[in-house]
Homo-oligomer: A and B are copies of this chain.
Amino acid sequence: MPGALVTRFISAIEAKDLDAAAAMVSDDLVYDNVPVGIATGPDGLRGTLGPFMAGASEVDWVVHRQTESGDLASGVVMNERVDRFRFAGGWLELPVAGVFVIEDGVITVWRDFIDLGTMQQQLAATSG
């Protein structure tokens, strides 16, 4: 089921295992942080998430709800999350809604809906 793939993907991120996460996305992944912009492919994933992970002593993404349709050949997964990063100054906690499109067993689109102002405020408060 496509939801299980997304659950494994998020577990890899929490483990700061970017190699494992990158192996679950397509070469032409569209990784869209809606107000920020689009990164592309496994390198875009690493370039966006890498700096957050490097600065965080813990990564804890809490999935409150997750729904799915289709299958691993062609599926959609959506979840409601709070993405938490433990920085020097404390826990950054960001409410997120995520949309994942799965094709042929890999994630081809990952679109996260966040409020940029909240993220900037949280970054400033936790940079230590």
Closest-CB distance, A53 to chain B (whole angstroms): 23
Q: Which residues of B contact A25 (CB under 8 A)?
A: none
* A127 interface hit (Cβ, 8 Å): no
Query: How many copies of this protein are present in the complex?
Result: 2
Interface residues as binary, A5-36 with B (CB distance below 8 Å gives 1, 0 otherwise): 00000000000000000000000000000110
* Min CB–CB distance A109 → chain B (angstroms): 9
CB distance from A112 to the nearest CB of B (A): 9
Q: Which one of A67, A96, A111 has the highest number of Cβ atoms from chain B below 10 Å of its Cβ?
A: A67
Indicate with 1 or 0, residue by residue over A114-128, a CB within 8 angstroms of chain B CB atoms.
Answer: 111110000000000
Measured CA separation A34–B96 after assembly (Å)? 9
Q: Are A67 and B69 in contact (CB under 8 A)?
A: yes
Partner of A116, one of B78, B80, B101, B115: B115
In the bound complex, residues from chain B placing their C-beta under 8 Å from that of A78 are: 65, 67, 78-80, 97
Provide 6 A-B residue pairs closer than 8 Å at the C-beta atoms, listed in order of the A residue. A34-B95, A65-B101, A67-B69, A67-B76, A80-B99, A117-B117
